[in-house]
Amino acid sequence: MSDLEAFQEQIGYRFREVERLQEAMTHRSAGARHNERLEFLGDSVLNFVIAHEVFHRRLRDSEGTLSRLRANLVNRSSLAAIAREIDLGSHLRLGGGELKSGGHRRDSILADAMEAVFGAVYLDSDFDTAAQVITGLYRPRLESLPEEVVLKDPKTRLQEALQSTRRPLPGYQVLDVRGRAHHQKFRVECRLRDSDQATVGEAGSRRQAEQRAAQAMLLEIEAERPGDADG
């Protein structure tokens, strides 16, 4: 196990029982005592803390917008990004297979471990302390919350843009899947049903590839709008 002193400095909390932190850093591939129960607990603490923060920071937003804000902050990508910022991956305990496949860099493993750390802090101290750790790590994101339109994913925005001009919804088709199970690359086409316009997106999951294809189609549609060039 790597030295966890620096990591505790990074998160702004020193554990009374460092064994809890060690458990939070242990993936199920590394032993019977792993971080999944702590992850379950940390997920609940995180969701409440972030819900509380966005509720008080965005006083005029609707329930739907607050839900999207929270989802945007606690999703796998955001958690993995925070984990990378504090170098969590270098402290993970992984089984041989996960080590060989680069598990310490994988978003899912990093995000789960980040939630487990929050759960471990809560158990080692109390709710208020866990909330302080979470808000401390999330501070830059909480201080620059995105506007509502940015929260909607490209597929939703494309659908709304087409519906606003009474055009049919687009179709999505997987063109190609390459690579092994943990490192697949999906190539997906987004095609408009009332024209020959089509765009392609590539990503490590079908869903993300669809989103990228939709984003490319959005850019094409916006470029075609009359008057856009003149602002």
Q: Identify the active-site residue in 98, 115, 124, 210.
A: 115
Q: Identify the active-site residue in 23, 39, 43, 210.
A: 43
User: 3-state class of 152 per DSSP?
Assistant: coil
Q: Does 115 participate in catalysis according to the annotation?
A: yes
CA dist 161 → 67, 152, 169, 231 (Å): 22, 12, 10, 18
Written as six digits, the tokens of 27 are 């993936």
> Which residues make Cβ contacts (< 8 Å) with residue 195, sequence separation at least 6?
none
CB of 47 closer than 8 Å to CB of 136 = no
Distance CA 227, CA 130 (A): 51
User: Which residue in the block uniquely carries the two structure tokens 């490590």?
Assistant: 204
Q: Does 143 participate in catalysis according to the annotation?
A: no
Residues that are catalytic:
43, 115
